[in-house]
Structure 1
Amino acid sequence: MSPLGSKARRERILYVATTTGLTSVEELSRRFGVTPSTIRRDLAKLTADGRLARTYGGAMALTAHPEASLRQRTGEAFEEKRAIARRAATEVRAGETVLLDAGSTVGALAHELRSAKELTVATTGLTALQELSDVETVHVECLGGTLRPLSQGFVGPLTEAALERMTFDRVFLGTDGISPEHGICEADLRQTRLKELMARRADHVYVLAHAAKLGRRPFHAWAKLPDGWTLVTDDGADPSIVAELRGRGVEVVLTEVPASTDPEHRTSPS
């Protein structure tokens, strides 16, 4: 596992606190392989930014699993998302028709596909549309519908009706959380229904999610995916969750995340 920069580590600390509600300095120190004093500095920074509340010996989430906007999520775990997107792009072949979900990690994949040749891309996400709108070698189809401002993605009956008219070689889905038992998690039932429909229309199903989302259950809406789907995540994934997913027939691809020399000053791709 590549060492995490302070910004990436703080984002994961925030995910842990949001998932469990309460966490300790000692637990976080063991989890991330850093000293307790380093964790205390991380918690102090997150508290000063108004993202966590300090407790005796640890911290707790300020709110119960709020849905972050796409703008907020774009900067989280940036290096992990970029590595996952680069690995996912290697699965796409010239001449294929692929379906891209909304979301920041799938949006990063769209950025990687700008150099693709002879490709057709259908998408439910504004980020993918913006990334590929000026690429002459990629034919883009927009699956319209009702726009969810938080996710910057289309949902609803119009989107579902458009899906019925196409099939795909591959679909790439985002998620707010992954459970080996329940599937993938979203804040909205319309999103989970749409993801299930998207998965049914493709020969190969991929979920793109950085390691902090594994085992995370922030909401109560779930999508069950067809057997044999593939998770592309980073090398910080919890080995026990990876083993359980593989035991349930999920192919898990672990992507190495390069260490950043300046983790505090990363910017997201356009």
Structure 2
Amino acid sequence: MALRESQARRAEIVRLAKTSGLASVEDLSVQFGVTASTIRRDLSQLTAEGLLARTYGGAIALDPHPESSLRQRAVEGFDAKRSIAKWAAGEVHPGETVLLDAGTTVGAMGEYLRDSTGLTVIAAGLTALEALADADDVRVECLGGTLRHLSQGFVGPLAEASLARVSFDRAFLGADAVTADRGICEAELEQTRLKELMIERAGTVYVLAHAAKLGQRPFHAWAPLPEGVTLVTDAGATEEQVQPFRDAGVTVVVV
């Protein structure tokens, strides 16, 4: 009986580590009603089996969700992304300077901004650059840096140095996922560091994320949501998904 209970508890610990990211010894001890020493033994066993990797105070799953390429993401939620991009483009006013993050949803905004006049767009990825390449009345600046081939966005010290020299009226950020408590989730820390700098340089911040990304935790790099941020999602989002953001003081727009 005790053996079966231990096996069931360990299986549940692995599931929690996969879905919620970091598994804390303290939290797991409370959740399962066992001592911290018991949880540590569980984690040691699961680490030996190659199912978890130990961290300070807990463990993480070893089989993270693979990051999709930009081409793969382009066909995911296509109509929802276009609706979000169209609404977001309507927030932009003539004469403004705006930043368009890398990614398919934010990149799609470029198609709706092509006929703008007196607009300056700072592009952090190839999608927006391609959409605005021949928009003669739009001034386009490239953030620069190291190109991440999967996301086709620019990252690294050169991108960060560029951000130190500019500011924007509005910043439109993408996300691999977004939660009310942790913020914007990305595959790598250099991506979230860049988003933090973008947020610091922007007057108004929008996060564009279709419904499938809300409340998800596929990776372990995070950028906190700033005060006053607007989350823009699509009509496929449920009340259960959006309410935690509203409770956290985030303005939520469903299009």
TM-score norm. by structure 2 comes to 0.75
- Tell me the SS of whatever aligns to 2:108: helix
**Contact preservation (8 Å) 2:64, 2:219:** no
Query: Could you tell me which amino acid in structure 2 is paired with residue 245 of structure 1?
Result: F
Letter of the 1:108 counterpart: A
**1:114-135 CA-partner distances (Å, limit 9, x unpaired):** 1211100001101111110110
RMSD over aligned Cα atoms: 1.4
Give the superposition deviation at 1:225.
2.6
Structure 2 counterparts to residues 44-83 of structure 1, below 5 A:
64-83=64-83
Contact 2:155–2:191 (Cα < 8 Å) also in 1:
yes
Number of residue pairs the alignment of both structures matches: 196
State the distance in 2 between where 1:163 and 1:178 align.
23
Bigger-Rg structure (1/2): 2
Cα distance, 1:241 vs. partner?
2.7
1:229 CA displacement:
0.2
**Aligned twin of 2:212:** 212
Aligned residue identity for 2:148: R
Kindly indicate whether the alpha-carbon contact (under 8 Å) linking 2:206 and 2:231 is maintained by their aligned counterparts in 1. yes
Q: Which amino acid aligns with 2:227?
A: D
Deviation at 1:20, TM superposition (A): 5.2
Match of 1:120 in 2: 120
Distance of 2:74 and 2:240 partners within structure 1:
27
Are 1:223 and 2:204 an aligned pair? Answer: no
Kindly indicate whether the alpha-carbon contact (under 8 Å) linking 1:121 and 1:141 is maintained by their aligned counterparts in 2.
yes
1:214–1:238 contact (8 Å) kept in structure 2: no
Which stretches in structure 1 are left out of the alignment for 5+ residues? 1-18, 22-62, 256-270
- Matched residue SS, 2:114: helix
State the identity as a percent: 63
Residue 139 of structure 2 is matched in structure 1 by 139
1:93-132 to structure 2, matched below 5 A, reads 93-132=93-132
1:203 matched to 2:206 = no
Query: By how many angstroms is 1:175 displaced?
Result: 0.2
Q: 1:252 & 1:231 partners in 2: Cα distance?
A: 5
Superposition TM-score, scaled by structure 1 size: 0.71
Q: Higher relative contact order by CA 8 Å / sep ≥ 6: 1 or 2? A: 1
4+ long deviations beyond 3 Å? none
